Structure 1
C-alpha cells in the first residue's frame, strides 16, 4: 500500500513538469545539500560570535553545524541500513545519487539546519522567520520528488529525523536558547531531552497502572504489531504501526483530559461531561481507523498468495 501511494504521488509531480519548474526545483534542491549548508553553518558560528550571543567555538555558537551534521549522519546511517533503491518510474531531472533512497538526506539536512537557525533568531523575528524557513524546507522536500530522486516516504522520514536531532542538539548545545517555557516564559531555562524522556516514561507508566483502557490497548497493540511484523510479507507494517500509534495517542490524551476534568470539578457538571464526551469521541474515531486498517490488511493477507 505504501509503495502504491509513493508511486501515485511521484506520478502527480511528474505531471506538473514545466521548464520553469524544472529550473526552479533544480536550484532549490541545493538548499538541502551539504555543499551549501556546511559553509553556511561555519558562517553561522562567526555571526553568533560577532553578535555577542556566545564566544566563538562555544556550545551555543556550534549549535547550527552540530544540528546539521547530526541529521546528516543519522540519514546516511539509515541509508546504509535500509538500502532502498531509488525510484525509476519516470525520467530524472538530475544525476541520480549513488547512495540509497531511504531516507532523504537533503530533507533531513534542510529541516535540521533551518529549524536550528530559527531557534537562533531573536523572538521578534521568529514568526516571520518561521514562515520563511518552513517554506524553504517544504520547497526542498518537494524538489526531491519533482526531480524524481526520492520516494515520498523517504522525504517524509528525512524531515522527521529533524525532530530527534533537534532534541539532542538543542539540549546539549543550546540550553536556554531553544525554550524556557513555550507559553508562560516561566520554569527552568533550557530544553533537556533526557528530562523530557523521563517525563514521557512517567506519564506512560501512570496511564498503564491506573487506566485499564490504556493498559489493554497497549498490550493488544504490542501483540498486533508483533504479528504484523512477522507477516510483513503480506501486511503493510507501517500502516498498522501508524494506526496503532494514533489509537494509543488518543487514549493517552483522553486519560489526561479526564484526569484534569476530575481535578477541576469533582461533582457532576454538564460542561465537564461534554468535554469528556468529545475526548472519548476522538478515541472512538482513532479506533474506527485502526479497525479499518487492520481489517483491510487481514483481508489482503488472507486473499493473497504466499510470496
Structure 2
C-alpha cells in the first residue's frame, strides 16, 4: 500500500485495507470505505430503532393487558362490561405513552447516527451542537409553560390519574373528561359548558370514577323516635336494596351499611345509611336510597324532621 493510500486509510484501516487488498491501490478505495462505513452506521441505526420499537410495543402490550379491578371489590357479579372499559382505558394510556417513547427513541437513535455520519464526512459538528444547544435554551425559556404542560401530561397518563369518561374536579373546572392529550384536558360540566384546562396548571385532581364511589343518605328523625326501631327499619331497607339483583349486579359493590346515629342536632337525631357503588353510579343509588327510605318511614309512621 502506498504512503498516500495509507494516509487516506488512517481513519478507517479495516474496510480501506480490505478494499486495497482486493483492488490494489485504487484511488477510490478510501471513498468507498467511507461510503460502506456510512451505510453500516445507517443500517445499524435503523435496526436498533426497530428493535427498540418492538421492545416498547411488547412493554406497552403487557401494560395494557393488566388485570380486573372490579373483581377486587365484587364477587359473583357481572363485571365483563366494566372490565372491558377499564381494559380499553389502560390500552389507550399505554399506547399514548408507547407513542411518546417511540418518538423519543427515534430522535435519539437517528440523531446520533446523523451526527456520526457528519463526523465521518469530516463535517465539523461542534458548531452545530453549539447552535442546537443555544436554540434549545432559547426555546426552553420561551416555551416553559408548554414544556410544563407536556411533562405534567406525561406523568398524568403514566400514573393513570384520570381518563376519558371520568368525572373529576380539576380545581378550575368540574365535569366529565371528554378528551385527554399531553397538553390539555377537555371537560364538560353539568351545564354543558366545555372547559379546556392546561395540564401544567392542574395542581390537584379529585376523581369520582376510580375504583368505587360512595352513596349516602342522612335520615333526621325526632328525638322521641324509637332509635332501635329506626335502625332496624334502615337495616331492612339496606337488605332490600342489596336483594335487588339489578342494583347489586350493575351498580353496587357491597351491601349498604347503617352507621347508626351520625349526628345530634338541636332538633333531631341523624342516622346515616351508606352504600359503596361502582364509579359514577352513586347518584342513581342515592336516589334509590332516598325513595326506599322515605317509603319505609312513611309506612312505619316515622316522620322525618325538616331542616335538620
Q: Please give the TM-score of this superposition, normalised by the length of structure 1.
A: 0.23
Larger helix proportion of the pair: 1
Structure number with larger C-alpha Rg: 2
Q: Which has the higher contact order (CA 8 A, sep 6+)?
A: 1
Q: Please give the TM-score of this superposition, normalised by the length of structure 2.
A: 0.23
Larger strand proportion of the pair: 2
